[in-house]
């Protein structure tokens, strides 16, 4: 909900705020007229002073595996993508946090599109509300793995998590939320001190600074050793297991030597490695490892004390898999 002008409370009772909050976040209505337990004059005042900021669906695509990709008009001439995935344990939404991304990872489709702006907390949460309305479902898990770097939009992402958690609203537990970061070290420390129970995923992709810097420019700012220090602090502070994302690209980071270096780096840490067969993007120089290499890589990690799994790729036929999302212009 967005204020059109500075709100003054018109002497309304406090409990009205709670009613409105529930209409938006629990009952997921899209107009003030739907808020039937509010007196008519209050509904009129709300209409004059606020916009509910309901996203328009520009396009919805459905994959053979049931994954759905949405392109939303965020109402200022910009558009973002969100993905709904089906897992055994429930429905998971992958949300965007920014319109574009500043990180410049060489293998990611969100790179190469001009950064427009960060999303507000309400716009992050509206992605979930809009899909729940459209599909008439309850989404149980949320991952910050769409377009953008969540820790580069820190305040709004924290605010969105509080909204998602709220028992009188969406009521999604923090343990059902994952934040994925390319490695903004100072904000990993900040997150550790927040005392929230969400899962942290680190996009690591290599144990070698030389290789990682070629994939992710952020590594020139915060190298692997600084990143791992921050992760250790996070684990100590939260007692939560970190998930390391590792996108395997042929002849780049998928050799047994690379697995050896990864074992050395992560040995003894409370962590899990998520192996992703890299998705080739347009003009990208990184290509998928062979299945054989991916399995060898996983088995090497598992037999050397690092728990590793291969992520099942969902939605690749509709460009909805990891790293395939990009900001799409709204054509007007």
Residues noted as catalytic: 81, 322
Rounded Cα distance, 70 and 137, in Å: 15
Site for ligand SAH in 298-327 (CB under 6 A): 322-323
Should residue 24 be labelled a site residue for ligand SAH when binding is judged by CB under 6 A? no
Q: Which long-range contacts (CB under 8 A, 24 or more apart) does 207-212 make?
A: 207/258, 207/261, 207/262, 207/264, 207/265, 207/266, 208/253, 208/258, 208/261, 211/252, 211/253, 211/258
**Number of chain positions touching ligand SAH (CB under 6 A):** 18
**What is the rounded distance in angstroms from the CA atom of residue 75 to the CA atom of residue 254?**
42
281 binds ligand SAH (CB under 6 A): yes
Q: Pairing state of beta strands 271-277 and 308-310?
A: parallel
* Among 47-55, 153-161, 174-182, 222-230, the segment contacting ligand SAH (CB under 6 A): 174-182
Category of 189 on φ-ψ map: left (φ > 0), alpha (ψ -120 to 50) or beta: alpha
Identity of the residue, 169 or 323, whose beta carbon is nearer to ligand SAH in the bound complex? 323
Binding to ligand SAH by residue 107, rule CB under 6 A? yes
Q: How far apart are CA 90 and CA 141, in angstroms?
A: 7
Pick one of 67, 82, 141, 181: the residue that binds ligand SAH (CB under 6 A).
181
Q: Which is nearer to ligand SAH, 315 or 323 (CB)?
A: 323
Distance from C-alpha of 315 to C-alpha of 64, rounded to nearest angstrom: 8
Residue among 279, 298, 314, 318 that touches ligand SAH (CB under 6 A): 279
234 near ligand SAH, judged by CB under 6 A: no
Residue 184 parent element (H or E): none
Q: Minimum distance from CB of 182 to ligand SAH (Å)?
A: 4
Instruction: Using CB under 6 A, list all residues that contact ligand SAH.
Output: 103, 105, 107-108, 145, 149, 180-182, 203, 245, 247, 276, 278-279, 281, 322-323
């Amino acid at each position: 909900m967005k204020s059109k002008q500075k709100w003054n409370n018109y002497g309304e009772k406090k409990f009205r705020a709670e009613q409105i909050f529930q209409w938006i976040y629990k009952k997921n209505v899209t107009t003030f007229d739907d808020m039937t337990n509010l007196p008519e004059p209050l509904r009129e005042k709300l209409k004059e002073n606020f916009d509910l900021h309901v996203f328009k669906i520009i396009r919805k695509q459905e994959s053979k595996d049931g994954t759905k990709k949405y392109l939303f008009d965020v109402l200022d001439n910009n558009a973002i993508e969100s993905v709904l995935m089906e897992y055994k344990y429930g429905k998971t939404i992958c949300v965007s946090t920014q319109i574009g991304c500043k990180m410049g990872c060489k293998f990611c489709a969100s790179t190469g599109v001009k950064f427009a702006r960060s999303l507000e907390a309400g716009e992050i949460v509206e992605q979930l509300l809009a899909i729940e309305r459209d599909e008439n479902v309850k989404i149980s898990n949320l991952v910050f793995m769409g377009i953008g770097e969540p820790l580069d939009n820190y305040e709004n992402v924290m605010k969105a998590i509080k909204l998602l958690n709220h028992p009188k609203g969406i009521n999604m537990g923090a343990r059902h939320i994952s934040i994925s970061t390319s490695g903004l070290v100072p904000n990993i420390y900040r997150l550790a001190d927040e005392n929230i129970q969400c899962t942290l995923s680190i996009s690591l992709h290599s144990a070698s600074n030389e290789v990682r810097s070629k994939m992710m420019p952020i590594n020139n700012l915060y190298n692997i050793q600084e990143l791992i220090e921050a992760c250790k602090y996070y684990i100590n502070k939260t007692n939560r297991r970190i998930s390391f994302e590792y996108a395997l690209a042929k002849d780049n980071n998928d050799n047994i030597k690379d697995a050896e270096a990864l074992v050395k780096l992560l040995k003894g840490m409370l962590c899990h490695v998520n192996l992703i067969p890299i998705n080739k993007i347009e003009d990208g120089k990184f290509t998928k490892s062979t299945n054989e290499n991916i399995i060898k890589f996983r088995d090497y990690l598992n037999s050397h004390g690092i728990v590793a799994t291969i992520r099942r790729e969902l939605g690749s036929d509709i460009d909805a898999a990891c790293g395939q999302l990009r900001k799409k212009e709204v054509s007007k």
